Structure 1
Amino acid sequence: MNHVTKSALLSLAMTLSIGACQANPQSHSSHEVTRWSVPIGLRWMWQLQDYENFKIDPDVDVYDVDLFEASEGGARSLIHRLKSANKKVICYFSAGTREDWRSDADDFIDSAVIADGDMKDWPGEIWLNIANRDALENNIKPIMSKRLDLAAASGCDAVEPDNVDAYTNIDETHGIIRPDDQLRYNRWLSQAAHQRGLAIGLKNDMQQLNELVDDFDFAVNEQCYAYGIECVHYVGTFLAKGKAVFNQEYYTDGQEGEIDRSTFISSACSYFQSVGISSLWKQGYALDGVGVKSCVN
């Protein structure tokens, strides 16, 4: 084959390649990188604050930590320390609220948040208006994309986007967010995480487990045992598909939604172990790693 023929074929190949890319400009970003498959039965620890004296437990398989704080310090970051200890790392961030202490809080435009949509129990936090399509596409999603980029670049194996059940918090969101708005947004979060090679957990949002079980790799739940029969909804969804469910129960003074330590040990743990839920019990609601009891220690 002469030089002219080779050049012509090469030129044709390049033209076809460029044409294909132009016809499908999303082809490079829609490819899902291999990600962590999160099995049932892992031992986890959930700590989102107070990292000064953080200790790595050799018996814990998975750590769920704050994306922003745990990624600080580059090679000296908490995420890097955990990865060096062969731990799987889930990185937490809020995907449904603006937290005024975050470094990117000022990036949210006014229309991206719900007017008078403050969270009653969490000062400085306000619900995002994911029903506002313009704000969602042009402001909220780009901010969340940057957070997912940070998670991937920092070495997170997975992400735990919080506050993805805005439609159930009617007192604070005033009915602005519909179930379909939430479903579309949560599926977008899943796709965006998977495109970056990140596994993703569905936080609470129990009313949409059936619709979202195939989109998410694991689930994170709070207080399903204390609220009665709620845990059973994971048995036929995530657990039936071999996907991990990470649970945490709490106790302060015995109010609704709480169980005490003895109940956790004597009753809850036997249930959790029988169905395959990885559970923790916490004295108080501060996720600081203090006063935590596991079903296996």
Structure 2
Amino acid sequence: MRIRLPSPSGGHGPRRTLRSLVALALLASAGGCRVEWTPPGAPTPWPTESARHWRWQWQLSGPLDTGVDADVFLLDGLRTTAAETSALRARDRRLVCQVSVGAYARTDPDADRYPAAVRGAAAGRPGVRWVDVRRWEVLRPILADRFRLCRGKGFGAVALADADGYARRPGFPLDFDDQVLFNRRAAQLARSLDLSPGLLNDLPQVASLAPDFDFAVNEECVRLRECDRLLPFADAGKPVFHVEYAGDPADFCVTTVGYGFVSMRKTRDLTAWRAPCPSAP
């Protein structure tokens, strides 16, 4: 897939320079073998001086491309094999495991562990349902095992997905405080298992939750005009990994690099293809 970059027109100063850098960056831009691997050390550190400079990749479908020029890989913990994570870690890549914490799919290997009392409404994806996040005593052991699976495969961090059921129609009377408490507990659980916790979306709660999480992952804050909500992470020197699914990177990168995010253009199916923004100066 190619992205046509418009010729600069009317721009000047730093914006024009950054657009040029974006354009240049974009234009420049297994098997059955058993691989030995070693579990990662205690939670992945994210040095504040590097927060604006990580190169990242988010792939949830298609054959995993371990050769992508990225420092950080956000991957599906179920689909990704220990051999793949070992190959990435051998090249000093940081690995983030995407884990659904507030919902489950019928096809999940642990789906039968969710009792009827915590199963909620459809979550908008085929076969996926929200869960009652107020029932921490029920959900904690399930989530702990999901996190342990990530650790066992060599991940050092987790991105908590489906952490905003309160703002949807989950089938339960969840409120803002219910969700904040659950998300904090999930982050603490991840830390107890030597995993660095990250928050995926849930922008209305960022101001409350940024102190509890090490990084943020966001979809389409430029299109939705909500990027300023992520500033509690960026201002604290924590990485904000951002993706847009539409628009010209030469335009949206100007906004997100200015905020201090690390951004890229992806397709919604999150295959290996990516068009990254240049790092912040």
1:289 aligns with 2:272: yes
Instruction: Identify the match of residue 118 of structure 1 among 118, 122, 142.
Output: 122
Tell me the CA shift for residue 175 of structure 1.
Answer: 5.6
Q: Whole-Å Cα distance in 1 between the matches of residues 193 and 133 of structure 2?
A: 22
1:212 aligns with 2:209: yes
Shift in CA distance, 150/55, structure 1 to aligned 2, threshold 3 Å: closer
User: What TM-score does the superposition give when structure 1 sets the normalisation length?
Assistant: 0.75
Instruction: Identify the match of residue 56 of structure 1 among 56, 62, 67.
Output: 67
- 1:161-176 equivalences under 5 Å are 161-169=160-168, 172-174=169-171, 176=173
Tell me the CA shift for residue 54 of structure 1.
Answer: 2.1
Instruction: Identify the match of residue 106 of structure 2 among 90, 94, 100.
Output: 100
Instruction: Identify the match of residue 40 of structure 1 among 30, 45, 51.
Output: 51
CA RMSD of aligned residues (A): 1.7
Structure 1: where are the runs of 5+ without partners?
1-32, 252-259
Tell me the CA shift for residue 142 of structure 1.
Answer: 0.8
Give the aligned residue type for 1:63. F
Shift in CA distance, 175/142, structure 1 to aligned 2, threshold 3 Å: closer
Instruction: Identify the match of residue 234 of structure 1 among 207, 230, 234.
Output: 230
> Which structure has the highest helix share of the two?
1
Tell me the CA shift for residue 192 of structure 1.
Answer: 0.8
- 1:130-145 equivalences under 5 Å are 130-131=133-134, 133=135, 136-137=136-137, 139-145=138-144
Q: Whole-Å Cα distance in 2 between the matches of residues 287 and 110 of structure 1?
A: 32
Q: Secondary structure at the match of 2:252?
A: helix
Q: Whole-Å Cα distance in 2 between the matches of residues 35 and 144 of structure 1?
A: 17
Q: Secondary structure at the match of 1:243?
A: coil
Shift in CA distance, 82/55, structure 1 to aligned 2, threshold 3 Å: closer
Deviating beyond 3 angstroms after TM superposition, the runs of 4 or more aligned structure 1 residues are none
Tell me the CA shift for residue 186 of structure 1.
Answer: 0.5
Instruction: Identify the match of residue 241 of structure 2 among 237, 246, 271.
Output: 246
Instruction: Select the structure with the greater relative contact order (CA < 8 A; seq sep ≥ 6).
Output: 2
Task: Render the CA deviation track for 1:106-134: whole Å, top value 9, x for unaligned.
Answer: 221111211xx1023x1010101113x3x
Q: Whole-Å Cα distance in 1 between the matches of residues 172 and 254 of structure 2?
A: 38
Q: Secondary structure at the match of 1:68?
A: coil
Tell me the CA shift for residue 188 of structure 1.
Answer: 0.7
Identity between Structure 1 and Structure 2 (%): 29
Give the aligned residue type for 1:213. A
User: What TM-score does the superposition give when structure 2 sets the normalisation length?
Assistant: 0.79
Give the aligned residue type for 1:130. V
Q: Whole-Å Cα distance in 2 between the matches of residues 81 and 102 of structure 1?
A: 25
Structure 2: where are the runs of 5+ without partners?
1-40
Q: What residue in structure 1 maps to residue 9 of structure 2?
A: none
Give the aligned residue type for 2:160. P
Q: Whole-Å Cα distance in 2 between the matches of residues 152 and 55 of structure 1?
A: 19
Give the aligned residue type for 2:275. K
Question: Which entry has the higher C-alpha Rg, 1 or 2?
Answer: 1
Tell me the CA shift for residue 200 of structure 1.
Answer: 0.9
